[in-house]
Structure 1
Amino acid sequence: MAGFRDTLSKLLKARVPVLLVESYEEQRVLAEIAAVAQDALQVRTPRGLWTWSATRGLVSPDGGGRQGTTGAEAALDAAQRIEEPAVVVFTDLHPALGAGGRPAEPGVVRRLRDLAAAFRSGPVPRTLVLVSPVPHLPVELAKEVTVVDFPLPAEAEIRAVLDAMISANTASGRIRIDVDERGRERLAKAALGLTLHEAENAFARAMVDDGVLDAHDLSVVHEEKRQAVRRSGLLEFVDDSVPLGDIGGLENLKRWLAKRDGSWLAEAAAYGLPAPRGVLITGVPGCGKSLTAKAVAAAWGLPLLRLDIGKVFAGLVGSSEQNMRGAIRTAEAVSPCVLWLDEIEKGFAGGSGDSGTSARVFGSFLTWMQEKTRPVFVIATANDFAGLPPELLRKGRFDEIFFVDLPTRAERAAIWQVHIARRLRHPAVAGDLALDHALLTELSELSEGYSGAEIEQAVVGGLVDAYAERRPLRRDDLLRALMNMVPLSVTQAERLDAVRAWAENRAVAATAAEDWDLDNRAAGSAHAGGPQGGRRVEF
């Protein structure tokens, strides 16, 4: 809160007449304002704290209420007559200023302008502070009111709440606490972006859910954060958890991600390690780019937010830039998190008729990517390298650029195993089909040039044939479905060659070098199947 206190101190000393603080946490705001207003070191002239609400009316610093001031206009008139150094905090004025689609009340707007003029030129320092959950102001007040950012609780504040709850419940003996220092840090960081009340509610739910507070309760905290994300309207909280092991192949990319697990924690910062910025994953469609975004969030135990660029550009003319800032602000409030931008090249493509809106929004996003300090790990996926602006590819935006090619022989075997094993868990599907090395080897050889998505659809196609006859899945079903499919590597061969040529010296191969070498030796040619784009490096 040092930043807010320093800003408020300067504004009070400058005698700025009217301030607006956006926050749901009235009590935290009042406590911070009181700490600054009554400290001679902060403001030179200590000031009394007056408060107004629609139920209590105007209340003086000694707790005495002014009769007949529950109405907004009467309260503003009474506030203007205060003749001593004061900070006057109004907490329920936003409905009268047009918040929520209501028309602004002309009498309230006029009195606010008169009060601003009186406070600005008066003989004693006085400031009116509006505390509102929404930053709405009528146009008449846009130049009269100074907006002050009020941050959500810092990790230290949330940690204090968590430690106090653990101490209280440990003493009672009703709740078992099974988290070490690292686990407490993860819980506190997971609650960043919540108010203190929301964080307290999340921790309480985690404790009473099964009578134990442990590392698995991160999901309960993420459930609370989902509400904040849903209110933004621009970000989607993705629940589809995918284990990293369910991604067949891409061992190079998976090792890179595994090494950075926990790198946003205080332990990593003390080691001098900055939080990772993100990765750009480009390559052949249907080869696991989007699946990787879901898997890394699950593996790291972080919430996954998907940014819909289309929603950023929707709405009123001129609102796109504000929408992007709002989405970024929400992601930072929820951090640490994973922010996923799917097919980023299409989202920022723009057009001749958008008057430069796409360029401005894209520029603000790039600036944030370069300068962000909060642990928001960005995963951007792209299918069309030609649509990627060069500014996006330079170092400093992403930690690494990975290229995902068609799966190698070993990766295809792993993909077949994942999808078939998932279906064979159902007794009606299993039958006597043996998911052994021989079957996987045969399927892997026959599916050369197929993407992971195409292999999955072959499994689904085999299941359709089996279900049509109400019998278990057989080997022939899989082979028939595979042979009836024309893969992308055939229909889009020229395009895939161009994609690989682009990635050769611009991206790192997501496939492990050992898988590539084994595939080459098995095929007997450096150009038979398997990935051909991307630098061969190891992590």
Structure 2
Amino acid sequence: MVMKTANKMSKSTETVLSELLKARFPFLYISTYEEERVLSVIRSVAADVNLIKTPRRVYTWRLTTGITDEFSQKVGDTAAPLKALEYIEKLDEAAVIVLQDFHIYFGGNGKLPDFHVIRKLRDMVIKLKLSPRPKNVIFTSPFLVLPNELQKDVTIVDFNLPTFEEIKSILNEMISVNEQAGRIRIHLMEEEKEQLVNAALGLTLSEAENAFARAMVEDGKLDVDDVDVILKEKEQIIKKTGILEFIKSDLRMEDVGGLENLKRWLQKRNRSWLDSASKYGLSAPKGVLITGVPGCGKSLISKAISSMWHLPLLRLDIGKIFSGIVGSSEENMREAIKTAEALAPAILWIDEIEKGFSGLGSNGDSGTSARIFGQFLTWMQEKSSPVFVIATANNIQSLPPEMMRKGRFDEIFFVDLPTKRERMEILKVHMGKRLHDASVVGSFEQSPETLSELADSTEGFVGAEIEHLVVSALFEAFSENRSITLADFERAIENTVPLSVTQAEQILAIREWANIRAITATPQEDRVDYNGAPPRKPEIPKPENNENNDIHAARGGRAIDF
């Protein structure tokens, strides 16, 4: 479906609207839920002699009232659509007539349009253009519904959600009112206020005001911790799309053992979407592609970024994008991107991205997969909104080379089998989560010596396997109603065959790929004396990249530390 669209990103809505009014475009269409805000903008433009030479009076039409003037006074019996259009046609003054929810006569959702209304609108096109006094008709509606007959005559005007400045103005006004009343305690630095405003981007003015009000009354104060309250309002938007999923994560970076190189990279880019970053000439980072051995923490750290950055985490399931209706898959991808950008700054997480685009190159879907993939890559390359994309992949070799090109992702990180130091951290994290009751802990001590001994025994284990062995050891103690012992952990280790053995060849292939294409998520100091395989089971062959077969060759990924 082809439609004329007035979409000039470099110009404000007011500027675009004024140009279209001056050029006497007969029919404009603005799709938005914010009726009062769009009417305020239309009235402002129509009365501003600096924007349009001939000021226009603004009339509005609703099914419940008919046409009313700027004083909300009815102007005749105009509730019926044809009566309203006849009144507009005969109106002898410069005017802008806003028809609210007129889309109900345009059909859609299996309903036929009102052909008498459609014909009347088409008859009016030339009369509006040649009218001695300029007249423009603007349709406003929450939905874009346009019959084929009107596609060449109606121009769509983008009406963006409130800007940073508009939301900040609302917040400042609410803070001022409540401070004067002495009802709410305000604890906000200027940068923290920016974080609250950024968290509210993507909401309408009404939604943002409601979110700030809820944050204030919840505990009688307003501070940076109320970002989470605002994100709850955003969750409602995500639930209504059906394509994106809002992920609630209580994970902190402290809950992720190891991967310090990746953590430092992320920490340095925290708050880079705030205005303070513009002083350094920085733009918000585009995203990272994280590949590596399954079960080593790729998904875990993706969830933890949301807590570190205080940003909403949106999960995109590529499978939900594809649909049986021709053309709907592309529309689903556009809708997902539009929603993510509306909620920016935000984090968009695509787990196991290689599975989502596995149909590339096949003819079974008439090229749909390739078009969706190309659409996503183009957006990644050109996006200016602060949507940070985290893509994880296990079988990185199945991804096309276009995905790895610079400009799509800021960096590609490789997550290998955890080193001894990382295994100690992972053991400490999972023991700390579960060993709270004194009767369960008994005489067992989480001493550095104990952690070191267990780490030595678990060489070649991935993080998920280490978590499982902690759980298995606790089940051993639970089944016998006694305290945990070191022997329980040792027994769980002996009963586990790690992925490094069962998938040795696949891990080697991933390492060889990452050796020159990715940066290791583990810092150099943690890779000292690392073998990469459990000592009591067959070792994973090490890539022979040089005559010394050093650590960098044994572990995939360039040895760059952040």
TM over 0.5: yes
Q: Is the 8 A contact 1:235 1:308 kept in 2?
A: yes
Aligned to 2:424: 413
Inter-CA distance 356–507: structure 2 relative to 1 (3 Å threshold): same
State the TM-score, normalized to the length of structure 2.
0.91
Q: Alpha-carbon deviations, 1:335-370, whole Å to 9, x = none?
A: 111111111111122232111111111112111111
Aligned to 1:533: 556
Q: Mapping of 1:139-538 within 5 angstroms?
A: 139-350=148-359, 351-426=362-437, 429-519=440-530, 532-538=555-561
Q: 2:551 and 2:93 mapped to 1: Cα distance?
A: 85
Q: Is the 8 A contact 1:99 1:134 kept in 2?
A: no
Q: Alpha-carbon deviations, 1:276-328, whole Å to 9, x = none?
A: 11111011111011111111111011111111111111252111111111111
Q: 1:430 and 1:484 mapped to 2: Cα distance?
A: 22
Residue identity opposite 1:395 in structure 2: K
Q: Alpha-carbon deviations, 1:160-187, whole Å to 9, x = none?
A: 0000110111111111000011111111
Q: Is the 8 A contact 1:423 1:429 kept in 2?
A: no
Q: Alpha-carbon deviations, 1:426-455, whole Å to 9, x = none?
A: 456433322222221121111111100111
Residue in structure 2 matching 1:32, options 35, 41, 44: 41
Q: Alpha-carbon deviations, 1:112-136, whole Å to 9, x = none?
A: 3333343234343221111111112
Q: 1:386 and 1:129 mapped to 2: Cα distance?
A: 52
Q: Is the 8 A contact 1:320 1:361 kept in 2?
A: yes
Q: CA RMSD in A?
A: 2.3
Q: Alpha-carbon deviations, 1:501-523, whole Å to 9, x = none?
A: 11011000000100001536999
Q: 1:6 and 1:425 mapped to 2: Cα distance?
A: 62
For residue 395 of structure 1, report the CA deviation from its aligned partner: 1.0
Inter-CA distance 527–431: structure 2 relative to 1 (3 Å threshold): farther
Matched, 1:114 2:123: yes
Residue identity opposite 2:296 in structure 1: C
Aligned to 2:15: 6
**Deviates further, 246-255 or 418-427:** 418-427
**Deviates further, 455-464 or 189-198:** 455-464
SS in 1 for 2:389: strand
Aligned to 1:131: 140
Q: 1:188 and 1:381 mapped to 2: Cα distance?
A: 30
**Deviates further, 349-358 or 265-274:** 349-358
SS in 1 for 2:473: helix
SS in 1 for 2:203: coil
SS in 1 for 2:12: helix
Q: 1:427 and 1:196 mapped to 2: Cα distance?
A: 51
SS in 2 for 1:43: coil
Aligned to 1:81: 90
Q: Is the 8 A contact 1:340 1:378 kept in 2?
A: yes
Q: Is the 8 A contact 2:321 2:332 kept in 1?
A: yes
Inter-CA distance 428–118: structure 2 relative to 1 (3 Å threshold): farther
Unaligned segments of structure 1, at least 5 residues = none
**Deviates further, 256-265 or 118-127:** 118-127
SS in 2 for 1:42: coil
Inter-CA distance 185–100: structure 2 relative to 1 (3 Å threshold): farther
Q: Is the 8 A contact 1:512 1:538 kept in 2?
A: yes
**Deviates further, 473-482 or 385-394:** 473-482
